[in-house]
Amino acid sequence: MPIYEYRCTKCRRRFSQQQGIAQHDRRRPACPKCKSRAVEQVYSAFFAKTVRKS
C-alpha cells in the first residue's frame, strides 16, 4: 500500500498515512493532532530499491 503525506491547514502539522488507492480517493484523513479534516496532500521524493547489482 502506498504511503501518502499530508499537512493540516489548521495546525500546520505534517503526517503520513498508509492507504489503499481506492481509500485515498474517497475521503481525506483526519489530522492526528487536532482531528481536523482540512488537510492537503504534500508531494515528496520517493526512493526506489532494486535487486539488480551494478
Q: What is the largest CA-CA distance in the chain?
A: 47
| pLDDT at residue 41, as a whole number | 93
| pLDDT at residue 53, as a whole number | 72
Domain ranges of the chain: 3-42
| pLDDT at residue 22, as a whole number | 85
Q: What is the pTM of this model?
A: 0.73
d(CA 18, CA 1): 6
| pLDDT at residue 12, as a whole number | 96
Predicted confidence pLDDT, tens digits, the chain (54 residues): 788 999 999 999 999 999 888 888 888 899 999 999 999 999 887 777 788 776
| pLDDT at residue 54, as a whole number | 62
